[in-house]
Amino acid sequence: MSDQEETPQPATIVTCAVARNLEEFELLIDELEREFGESWGGLEFGDVLGILNSAHAKDLHTAVIAINKQDESDLEAIEETVKEAKKAGLKVILVTDDLGPSALHRLIRGGADDFLPYPLPPNALHETLERLTETQAPAANSTTVETVEGPRPTAPKVGRRQGIIFPVYGLSGGVGASTFAVNLAWELQKNVENDDKTVCILDFDFQFGSVSTYLDVPKSETSYELLTNAANIDSDALLQSMHKFDRTLDVLSAPQDSLPLEFISPEEIAKIIDVASKNYDFIIIDLPTAIVSWTEVVLEKCQLFFGVLEMDMRSAQNTLRFMRALKADEMPYEKVQFILNRAPKATDLGGKSRVKRMADSLDVEFRWFLPDGGKQILNACDHGSPLASVAKKNPMRKEIHRISATLSELAREEV
């Protein structure tokens, strides 16, 4: 043969995966092969520093460090790996399996760019790599910061909004507060999407939150990871923890496992709300029925606070206790807007009379009345769909739509 066959050149290694035993992260290996093909390699912690300080590091741009609970005993070596990788100019992604929050916090402070829970959520590694690549691109293509004009194309308004905060609080269990919160968020999103405004809903019922059920979005470890590192939350961390409902409404679901309501501090709750308000125009917060140490923070930061109740004795008694607690602690109780769910029909004169007596005895004013939506409400919640999608003509849905139209005017007035 006159033409010699060319010897195939080995693939350039651009990503290294570092772990004590990478075989324990089988799903991560699959994701790396899908993302990089043969352009990645695995390393143990004992070998990685030598590679990072050699000529082999010149083509590397990412280090994926996989760690679990057993690695907490050797955290200093992992911290050193993170620092050396950053010194070599690499983006560092932590993949953590049952790692304690203090250890994760320490590694993030040590310079890691991002973290992902293991098992990996669908497409999470790809999205993280894409985002880190995009944030690096301006520096690689320009010699000075001034040559980069405008915000990042992937998120043109991240951190530039002034969100209006609407918490929803059920005065008793089962009064329909979460149903109202979910449908209000969806109706608001549909009302303001043509105005280039955004809406999110945050499920702060860390024990038995049902927002993810009512919107059929997954509960994942990303919520837990976000909450355990809430003191250092930024826009990227919050946006990555959100799930999309119908590609438009952002949802922060409750963690997979039931957690104590007090496991997060008032300062951390305030940080989450502040970051959310910089990234969304409307923030709906579904609160637990319990009053906790951070309830005051939510009340202080919100514009209106929706209290949902029914026309029964337990709701009446809880409303009295709730208002007494607010007034005793000199909290801004005037922000509370009471919403009566399963309210009597307009033709029910006896029911309207009972509503008036209840309002007078509680010394409150009912701002809105939600009619009984019947079995369609339960069916919509069980199917994980807003009422607008499955029961558009339901009387409760119509009233929530009217409420959302009123609230959306607030955003237009603030422009």
Per-residue model confidence as pLDDT tens digits over 275-311: 999 999 999 999 999 889 999 999 999 999 999 999 9
Residues 377 and 179: beta-carbon distance below 8 Å: yes
Q: Tokens at residue 249, please?
A: 């409404």
Say how far residue 181 (Cα) sits from the centre of its chain: 15
Could you tell me the strand order of the sheet in which 40-43 lies? 40-43, 15-19, 62-68, 91-97, 114-117
What's the confidence (pLDDT) of residue 121?
Answer: 77
What's the confidence (pLDDT) of residue 148?
Answer: 34
235 burial via Cβ count (<10 Å: 0-12, 13-18, 19+): middle
What's the confidence (pLDDT) of residue 414?
Answer: 54
* Segment 92-113 mean pLDDT: 80
155 pLDDT exceeds 50? no
Q: What pTM, to 2 d.p., does this model score?
A: 0.63
What's the confidence (pLDDT) of residue 56?
Answer: 73
CA distance 70 to 73: 7
For residues 328 and 156, the model is more confident at: 328
* Segment 25-38 mean pLDDT: 89
Residues 291 and 322: beta-carbon distance below 8 Å: yes
Amino acid at 392: K
CA distance 349 to 357: 13
What's the confidence (pLDDT) of residue 142?
Answer: 35
CB-based burial, 55-69: b 16+ in 10 Å, e otherwise: eebeebbbbbbbbbe
CA distance 7 to 13: 18
166 pLDDT exceeds 90? yes
Helix (H) or strand (E) run with residue 390 in it: helix 387-390
What's the confidence (pLDDT) of residue 73?
Answer: 86
Q: Which CATH architecture has domain 15-146?
A: 3-Layer(aba) Sandwich (3.40)
Per-residue pLDDT tens for 204-215?
A: 999 899 999 999
For residues 186 and 97, the model is more confident at: 186
240 pLDDT exceeds 80? yes
160 pLDDT exceeds 60? no
Per-residue pLDDT tens for 367-409?
A: 999 999 999 999 999 989 999 999 999 999 999 999 999 888 7
User: What's the pLDDT band for 203 if we cut at 50, 70, 90?
Assistant: very high
Q: Do domains 15-146 and 164-414 have the same CATH topology?
A: yes
Per-residue pLDDT tens for 40-98?
A: 989 888 888 888 888 777 888 899 999 998 888 888 889 889 988 888 888 999 898 88
What's the confidence (pLDDT) of residue 151?
Answer: 34
Q: Tokens at residue 346, please?
A: 């307009």
What's the confidence (pLDDT) of residue 339?
Answer: 96
What's the confidence (pLDDT) of residue 135?
Answer: 53
Q: What CATH class is the domain 164-414?
A: alpha beta
* Angle of CA points 354, 357, 362, to nearest 5°: 125
What's the confidence (pLDDT) of residue 410?
Answer: 65
Q: Which whole-number Å values give the CA distances from 363 to 338, 341, 388, in the listed order?
A: 11, 18, 34
User: What's the pLDDT band for 144 if we cut at 50, 70, 90?
Assistant: very low
- Per DSSP (E only), the strands in 118-204 are 164-170, 199-203
355 burial via Cβ count (<10 Å: 0-12, 13-18, 19+): middle
Percentage of the chain beyond pLDDT 90 is 45
SS3 339: strand
What's the confidence (pLDDT) of residue 109?
Answer: 74
What's the confidence (pLDDT) of residue 411?
Answer: 59
What's the confidence (pLDDT) of residue 137?
Answer: 44
Q: Which whole-number Å values give the CA distances from 258 to 204, 207, 220, 254, 405, in the listed order?
A: 12, 4, 12, 9, 35
* Segment 254-266 mean pLDDT: 87
Q: Tokens at residue 184, please?
A: 């209000």
DSSP bridge pairs for 286: 168, 203
Q: Tokens at residue 267, please?
A: 């300062």
Residues 182 and 388: beta-carbon distance below 8 Å: no
Per-residue pLDDT tens for 317-347?
A: 999 999 999 999 888 899 999 999 999 887 7
* Segment 182-199 mean pLDDT: 91
For residues 147 and 397, the model is more confident at: 397
How confident is the prediction for the chain on average, in pLDDT?
A: 85
Q: Where are the domains of the chain?
A: 15-146, 164-414
Identify the CA nearest to 94 among candidates 222, 184, 215: 222
Q: Which whole-number Å values give the CA distances from 5 to 10, 12, 38, 75, in the listed order?
A: 15, 21, 22, 49
What's the confidence (pLDDT) of residue 275?
Answer: 94
SS3 219: coil
